[in-house]
A and B are shown apart, each in its own frame.
Chain A
Amino acid sequence: MNTDRADEAIRSLYRRLEPQVNTEGFCQAIGTKLAARKAGTTRRRIMRVAMVTGLAVAFVAVAGVGVYEALTHLGQSQEVLVITDEPTTALGTTTQPSAQVAGECVNVLHPYHNVFLDAPTYLIPASISLTHPLPEFPKSIPAQRITSELLPDTDLRLVPKPAAIGLLPVVRLRRRSLAQQWASQFAGGRCRGVARAFPSEHGLWDEAYSAPQVSVGSSEDGPGGTSVTSWAVRFEREPVAAGLERYVSVRVAGNDEVIQLTLALPRLKPVEGKLVRLRPIAEVVADTMAWQTGDSGALQNEIQEGEVPVNIRSAFLAYQDPRLG
């Protein structure tokens, strides 16, 4: 059998083997499937549109809340908050027994949080060892304010009076030219990096936590004609108080210099070797409400000159929800 004849024979074999096909039935089946698929597609499209709309609404709501919070918090005159125990220790290292420390716990309204929250209470026990006595708090300054905390080893140059005092950042929003917007975006990205890196670089945050997120910034004119950008930096930490528990504001001047730092830390864990100025409990207890009633211009602490040689081994602020009794 040659190839052509074999092909012919095989072809006829295939013709005998091929099944009978009901073309009409098959076409109807396809039509039914297509109709079902079309109905499914329409249903899916409606669902998708509904989902996208829902997400958009949720996003706008969240963004609105975020912007509102940022506008409310950034540029506030309050600065840093480390409330600690009494400077009972003198030269040399001492450690207080835990029972004694517990006895000294005092309920104190946290000045920063009280602005925004329903008066959460902080207990302030501490086991702090000091190598040197703390400096006396100047009598001329109303004591129970926000304690403006400098990190003495950071060369921070605090502005004597916060630029935004008495003004909400929203007032400073203005229409800018395209070129200005481009320049601002470029500088904004840089400042954002500085704001993100600064708290970690200076040991304000435990490296074990995830990288900080810089969320919202607002610009304003700073001293010396420079532009100052305030950034809200948020850290992934366990929630303690809603909204502000992980909040840091870093103000970055045009030359990438951090000029002001605002912390809202329910639990600040100082790092060994870093210097943090401490505030005596007695002063806090003496007039815990002064910060609320005084003249807002007088709320500012003076910049403390010189180094404060305090060697903190450990300190913490224990948060207790007042609703828990």
Chain B
Amino acid sequence: MQGQQRRQHRRSDVLAYEAFVRQHCARLIQSLTLVTLDEELAADAAQDAFLQLHLHWDKVRRHQNLTAWLYRVGINRCKDYRRHLGRLSNLVGRLAANLPPPSESVEWESRVDALAMLGRLPLKQRTAAALFYEADFSVVEIAAVMNISEGAVKSHLSRARQSLRQILEVER
């Protein structure tokens, strides 16, 4: 009897997890892409975040804000990847230092152009903006994800907004 209950409980856990993944995966990947400006990296980080969620599902499912927890793990994972990639690109940069420069200049499409301009934002501003505009998080939720105060979130958002206005004006 107990074994049957346990199996049912486990089954319902699996279903809840699946539903949660389906509900949030697209938005998480998109938000992380706009933080990292790298789709593959964002997808990897999102995958890791969901795996972590599965690993700690019993504990985390009762978390006050499960979505915020997921985004926090995803963003932290992005930072880890970036650190790793930074070291790697430094190495590659040193190795490629003696190569001749590319002869043809690349024409950027407008989307790529906008992403490049987005990339000029400091990471914290970019993260706050992505969570606010893309994931539709409130200031309180962003503060929880980024582990900073609400005032700091507002400050980051304000500065990001100012910079993004310039992007929009350039686009026009």
Q: Is the CB of A27 within 8 A of B29?
A: no
Looking at A3, A10, A13, A23, the one whose CB has the most chain B CB atoms below 10 A away is A10
Does any Cβ of B come within 8 Å of A167's Cβ?
A: no
B39 adjacent to A10 (CB under 8 Å): no
Known: A18-B134, A21-B26. 19 other contacts (CB 8 A): A10-B129, A10-B168, A13-B114, A14-B129, A14-B130, A14-B134, A16-B114, A17-B34, A17-B111, A18-B33, A19-B29, A26-B25, A26-B47, A29-B47, A30-B21, A30-B50, A30-B51, A33-B47, A34-B54
Surface stretch bound by A, among B66-74, B92-100, B159-167:
B159-167
B100 to chain A, nearest CB (A): 33
- Rounded to whole angstroms, the CA-CA distance of A297 and B111 in the bound complex is 103
Name the residue of chain A whose CB is nearest to the CB of B130. A14
Partner of A6, one of B25, B34, B114, B165: B165
Interface residues on B, range: 20 to 34
Interchain CB contact under 8 A, A13 and B168: yes
Q: Which residues of A line the B interface, CB within 8 A?
A: 1, 3, 6-7, 9-11, 13-14, 16-19, 21, 23, 26-27, 29-30, 33-34, 37
Q: Which B residues form the contact surface with A (CB < 8 A)?
A: 18, 21-22, 25-26, 29-30, 33-34, 39, 43, 46-47, 50-51, 54, 111, 114-115, 118, 129-130, 133-134, 161, 164-165, 167-168, 171
25 A-B contacts (beta carbon < 8 Å)? A1-B165, A3-B161, A10-B129, A10-B161, A10-B164, A11-B133, A13-B114, A14-B129, A14-B134, A18-B33, A18-B134, A19-B30, A19-B39, A21-B25, A21-B26, A21-B29, A21-B30, A26-B25, A27-B18, A27-B22, A27-B25, A29-B47, A30-B21, A30-B51, A34-B54
